[in-house]
Amino acid sequence: MLHYVASRFGQALFVLWAAFTVSFILLQAMPGDAIMIKFQNPDLGLSPEQIAAIRASYGADSPLWQQYLHAIGNIMTGNLGYSIQDGVPVSEQLATNLPVTLRLTALSFLLAVIFALAIAFAAHLTEWAWLRSTLAALPALFTSIPSFWLGIILIQIVSFRLKLIPVINPGEWQGLILPVLTVAVPISAPLAQILLRSIDDVKAQPFVAVARAKGASHSRVLWRHIARNAILPALTIAGILLGRLLVTAIVTETVFGLDGLGTLTAKAVLNEDTSVLQAIVLLSALAFVLINLLVDVIFPLLDPRLGRKIGATP
Amino acid sequence: MGALALAATVARAEDAPVKGGTLIYLEQQPHTNLYPPAGGFYPNGGVLNQITDKLTYQDPKTLKIEPWIAESWTVNADDTEYTFKIRDGVTFSDGTPLDANAVAKNYDTFGLGNPALKLPVSEVINNYDHSEVIDSRTVKFTFKRPSPGFLQGTSVIGSGLVSLATLARPFDELGKATNIVGSGPFVVSNETLGKELDLKARKDYAWGPKTLAHQGPAYLDGIKYIITPEDSVRIGSLLAGQADFMRQLQAYDEKQVSAQDFPIYAAPTRGVNDGVAFRPDNALVADLRVRQALLHATDAKEIVATLFSANYPQATSVISSKAAGYVDLSAKLAYDPDAAKKLLDDAGWALGPDGLRHKDGETLSLRLYESPPQPQNKAVLQLLGQQWAKVGVKVNVLPGNAASAVTDNLDPQKTPAVVVEVGRADPDVIKSQFYPKNRDVLLQKDGQSAKVQNFIDPTLNGHLEAVAAETDSAKRLADAGTAQNYLIDQAYVVPIFEEPQVFAGAPYTKGIAFEAVGRPSFYSVWLDKH
């Protein structure tokens, strides 16, 4: 077990280093840079000599390998650098923006799971074929709704027509209702789809027939026998969904004017704010690594077969 | 008689400003940097105009310069020495005095920059040499060469006065609004970076421009800026009563707002008109006949009628018809596709079977980056491209937020044309836009770009220098006219429309004013009962 944890930890570190290095190279390869975008702005009326002096003061003209070592040294000591565009430390930006996104994505993910479970189980429990096919068609609809459109429609109806929730100056939790709904709907779609499919697959397995033959009720079979097995593929997808969650959050944050990681990313990309982007890349890599680790740990708990060693032992 | 007097009293009671309340202002973009000379960016100017005062006040209607923090001034005969008498008792919100010394330090920074702190030179101050504090209320500025635009320069958004503590901060720290200490009617009380900004009225404010009817502190208790990037959300919230005022109303949304009797405010920016300028260093547009052809192939009337509203007048010169020094050049800007075709034929660009012009194996195809701050710029450029296509010229419109936009726009070989616009209510604005040491949109040799091979136009630069240095104001306006004529005769620029800043407010939001180039002033705003 110790060996397993150590090797997973080593892998995680490698992934983080690789993500940092690759993003560093890619960002350097782009034409222009943050200093140029900020100071070349004609509103400032700087002369080329002044811009050259500013570049020198940022150390932007030192050799690339020096900049790389400098950046990686900073990261090791927990210094994420300075946002050139905003003139504030990156750690300060993350401190304001990260909690917003964490709250939005965590709540949305929770709601998405609830939606997915509700759709999948309702579809399997219902007696009516028309309801079953309607519910089964929902994920396809949900996944094709663009999140910015859904956000704007929700605002138009709930906030402007019905005047139920203000978008401007809402209460802290009140302001999360519509954005969470906007993110949860498209995220629930793949989860529900996988659940529906895997329930079908598991249903066809012999042990289900055995359970039915023993006289277990329809819902008891679904909950006790099928659900535990059907949830495994959905869990794997949940780990992968993180990326999509972040992308949906970017759009949603813009529509609702939320100041989260998504808004920060979009702005940093436009301004080629390298330190901000690198911090976000590192953070996302870290989140991916942690979530996959979590999925790997949960898997054997849900399916004892995975915990056992299978095959011939030497 | 009595009834008349009564009616008058009632009318006055209704018009009497209501004190108190917080204005909810929806801004499209967050501010970037609040170093006053960076106030040209609208969101920056929209904040700076509330928290800083200026040495002088430019009447937005007459464009006359009037006293503000300076109660009087004298200028020597050749405009090289300006002496200002500073109003007594003005303080910054940190309690320090706004005296001659503070004014001197502000202008030393704006005029010379502060390389150690990365503070750049202000583009509105030309030929600055040094300041001299004569006594605590008198300051004298000396210039290396005549600087007739300086007086107007002391009234603009980029010349807001800030405390010595603010000037001592490096440029990077001025992105944080709470670091900006001014003497204006409002003070920044709280900031959520990129999302919200709270301003609070200063109760002891007593030094607004003397010519305003409103004196003393602001009527509002405060202002809440909320960054709302999405157009439909800004408009919807305003109409639904969730906000009181908003910036950036697109022309296609105007009907929706006016249909509900919400007032629309179109503030002119009084500078160089929205249009396209050429880079003659690029061989494709080096020939005057090609540039003239493109000028006459442009149907500005169609662009305005298709995409905009009555708030966007068709351009009739390089600068706005409401700008100082404007001359009407509409006769030279006529839409004439036949003349355009003939000019291209004469220049040797023959029409090929693909409908495009070719010469020596080259196609007349121009790359042009969209400029996101300009209204509906992508649509404008696409329509312009369709018009130019009719005479056989292809336009490639590239996305303005592309990473390569900044570098490519400095390379005349990659961008033979560029979008222009800049606001300032002084003839100096022409120089700001075209002079090689300023914005240099034509890209001349020894200007902003090291990529320029040959192009330089000493005649143009001479005209621009004259505008910036002529001391006789009548002659200076004539010089501005000469510069406009020259720019159009050389077809360096294709003016399209006069760009306004369009705002909308709730019917109960009263007393909105705009400074000369369209930044809102909330000093006299009050919220009527609703």
Cβ neighbour number for residue A301 with a 10 Å cutoff: 9
- pLDDT-based confidence at A309, cuts 50/70/90? low
Position of tokens 């068709």? B314
Position B241 scores a pLDDT of 93
Q: In what order do the strands lie in the sheet with B272-278?
A: B417-422, B272-278, B493-497
Mark which residues 237-256 of A lie under 8 Å from B by CB: 254-256
Which tokens hold the place of B373? 């701050």
Q: How many CB contacts within 8 angstroms connect chain A with chain B?
A: 131
Residues of A in contact with B243 (CB under 8 A): 168
From chain B, pick out residues whose CB is under 8 angstroms from the CB of A257.
195, 226-230, 233
Q: Residue B5: what pLDDT?
A: 42
In angstroms, the separation between the Cα of residue A314 and the nearest Cα of chain B is 58
Q: Give the tokens for residue A17.
A: 């280093």
pLDDT the model gives residue A87: 72
Instruction: Kindly report the nearest CA distance between residue A201 and chain B, in angstroms.
Output: 44
Interface check A35 vs B, CB under 8 A: no
User: Chain B residues with CB inside 8 Å of A54's CB?
Assistant: 118
For residue B308, give the 3-state DSSP assignment.
Answer: coil
* Distance from the B112 Cα atom to the nearest Cα atom in chain A, whole angstroms: 11
Chain B interface includes A272 (CB < 8 A): yes
B453, HSE (Cβ side, Cα atoms, 13 Å): 8
Which of the two residues, A84 and A278, has the higher pLDDT score?
A: A278
pLDDT at B173: 87
Q: Is B19 on the interface with A (CB under 8 A)?
A: no
Residues of chain B contacting A172 with CB distance shorter than 8 Å: none
- As a whole number of angstroms, the distance between CA B223 and CA B245 comes to 10
- How many Å lie between the alpha carbon of B392 and the closest alpha carbon of chain A? 32
Here the tokens at position B221 are: 């208790």
Give CA–CA dist B339/B344, Å, rounded. 9
pLDDT > 60? residue A313: no
Enumerate the residues of chain B whose CB falls inside 8 A of the CB of residue A46.
120-121
- Nearest residue, CB atoms, B41 vs list A43, A255, A263: A43
CA dist B313 to A99, B57, B269, B495, Å?
A: 46, 26, 12, 11
Please give the pLDDT value at position B338.
Answer: 97
Q: Which of residues 144-173 of A touch B (CB under 8 A)?
A: 152, 155-156, 159-160, 163, 166-169
Quick one: tokens of A39? 């100071």
Chain A, residues 70-89, CB within 8 A of chain B, namely 82, 84-88
Task: Give per-10-residue mean pLDDT for chain B (530 aa).
Answer: 41 71 94 89 93 96 94 95 97 97 97 88 90 97 93 94 96 91 97 90 96 95 93 93 95 94 93 96 96 97 96 96 93 96 96 94 94 91 97 93 80 95 87 90 90 95 91 90 97 96 96 92 94
Q: Which residue of B has its CA nearest to A87?
A: B172
Q: A260 to chain B nearest CA, in Å?
A: 10
pTM of the full predicted structure? Answer: 0.83
- What pLDDT does residue B245 have? 98
pLDDT of residue A43: 59
Judged by CB atoms closer than 8 Å, whether chains meet at B242 and A167 is answered as yes
Q: Does B169 touch chain A (CB under 8 A)?
A: no
Smallest CA–CA distance, residue A62 to chain B, in Å, is: 19
φ, ψ (nearest 5 deg) of residue B85? -100, 120
Q: Are B226 and B196 within 8 A, CB to CB?
A: yes
On whether any CB of chain A is under 8 Å from the CB of B482, the answer is no
| Average pLDDT rounded to a whole number, residues A12-17 | 88
What is the Rg, in whole angstroms, of the alpha carbon atoms belonging to chain B? 24
Contact A166 B237 (CB under 8 A): yes
CB atoms within 10 A of CB A13: 11
Decide if A257 and B228 are in contact by the 8 Å CB cutoff. Answer: yes
Min Cα separation B172/chain A (Å): 4
d(CA B316, CA B485): 11
Contact map slice: A 174-213 vs B, CB within 8 A = none
Residue B175 to residue A42, Cβ atoms within 8 A: no
Task: Name which of A43, A152, A168 is nearest B243 (Cβ-Cβ).
Answer: A168
Q: Which helix (H) or strand (E) holds B83?
A: strand B81-86
Give the whole-angstrom CA distance, residue B231 versus residue B228: 8
Q: Which residues of B touch A42 (CB under 8 A)?
A: 422, 439
What pLDDT shows up at residue A258?
Answer: 84
User: Does residue A30 sit at the B interface (CB-CB below 8 Å)?
Assistant: yes
The answer to whether residue A129 neighbours chain B at the CB level (below 8 Å) is: no
Q: Determine the pLDDT at residue B458.
A: 96
Number of other CB atoms surrounding residue B402 within 10 Å: 14
Stretch 109-138 of chain B: residues touching chain A, C-beta under 8 Å: 113, 115, 118, 120-123
- Write out pLDDT tens, residues A100-131: 888 999 999 999 999 998 998 888 887 788 88
Which residues in chain B have Cβ-Cβ distances shorter than 8 Å to A162?
A: none
Percent helix, strand and coil across chain B, each to the nearest 5: 30, 25, 45
Nearest CA in chain B to A41: B406
Separation CA A8–CA A211 (nearest Å):
39
Residue B3 confidence (pLDDT): 42
> Exposed, middle or buried by CB within 10 Å (0-12, 13-18, 19+), for A165?
middle
Amino acid letter, residue A71: A
Secondary structure letter of residue B393 according to DSSP? -
Answer yes or no: do A257 and B230 touch at CB < 8 A: yes
Q: Which tokens is A102 given?
A: 């964490």
- Encoding tokens for residue B208? 């607004």
Chain B contact set for A167 (CB, 8 A):
233, 236-237, 242
User: B510 - beta bridge partners?
Assistant: B526
What's the CA gap between A96 and A85, in Å, rounded? 16
